[in-house]
Chains A and B, each alone.
Chain A
Amino acid sequence: EAQVTQNPRYLITVTGKKLTVTCSQNMNHEYMSWYRQDPGLGLRQIYYSMNVEVTDKGDVPEGYKVSRKEKRNFPLILESPSPNQTSLYFCASSFRRQTDTQYFGPGTRLTVL
């Protein structure tokens, strides 16, 4: 089944404790990205990747890191999480460009205390 998976689905952590949210897609998509969704603010892009070893900042990259060592994986790293990073996070992939149909993961609900 073609899908985007994320782990964990739910995470409660404390300020400053490094964490990684994994994302994997099995559709051989070139483009992958991370979004955060907050009430009233819609979806905002954090980082994106056009292909392996090619990443770039989205609209709200501060406090986040990403890497794309393999085509299928695109982990999101929070080196020192803060409470303002409490949010619902989505990984998405598409065939080649951001403007192609996006396939979203199920989401990761992160709470930073």
Chain B
Amino acid sequence: SQQGEEDPQALSIQEGENATMNCSYKTSINNLQWYRQNSGRGLVHLILIRSNEREKHSGRLRVTLDTSKKSSSLLITASRAADTASYFCATDLTGFQKLVFGTGTRLLVSP
């Protein structure tokens, strides 16, 4: 499969804790994007990191990219109940001109 593989499939934490989810892929990429999906709703773009970047921040989000390990991580700091959602990575695979979505990590943040 060309999909990015998210890990873990599901994550349950308390409010205030940090949440880390990972994405691994198999071939070289131009960029990698993270999206959030609230239950049954459309995906919302969170952040894009290019292959020549190692880390990006956006508010409480921190994304890292390790192209040597073909992996990315999304860290949500000081999580809130409103962060409860599924999180997907999407890889722009070099040579495919296509965005391939993974199967997602389901995050549950309890008050």
Contact = CB atoms under 8 A, between A and B. Distances in A.
Interface of A: 4, 40-43, 88, 90, 92, 97-99, 101-107, 109
A34 to B, nearest CB: 12
B57 interface: no
Interface of B: 3, 30-31, 33, 35, 40-45, 48, 88, 90, 92, 97-99, 101-104
Question: Could you say which of B35, B44, B99, B104 has the most chain A C-beta atoms within 10 Å of its C-beta?
Answer: B99
Contacts of A104: 42-44
B42 A4 contact: yes
A99 B30 contact: yes
Contacts, number: 47
Contact of A42 (B3, B42, B97, B99): B3
A101 B98 CA distance: 12
Contacts of B98: 98-99
Contacts of A43: 43, 88, 101
B31 to A, nearest CB: 7
28 contacts: A4-B42, A42-B3, A42-B88, A42-B101, A42-B102, A42-B103, A43-B43, A43-B88, A43-B101, A88-B40, A90-B43, A92-B42, A98-B97, A98-B99, A99-B30, A99-B98, A102-B33, A102-B35, A102-B43, A102-B45, A102-B90, A102-B99, A103-B45, A104-B43, A104-B44, A106-B41, A106-B42, A109-B40
B45 A101 contact: yes
Given A42-B3, A98-B97, A98-B98, A107 B103 contact: no
A40 B103 CA distance: 7
B3 to A, nearest CB: 6
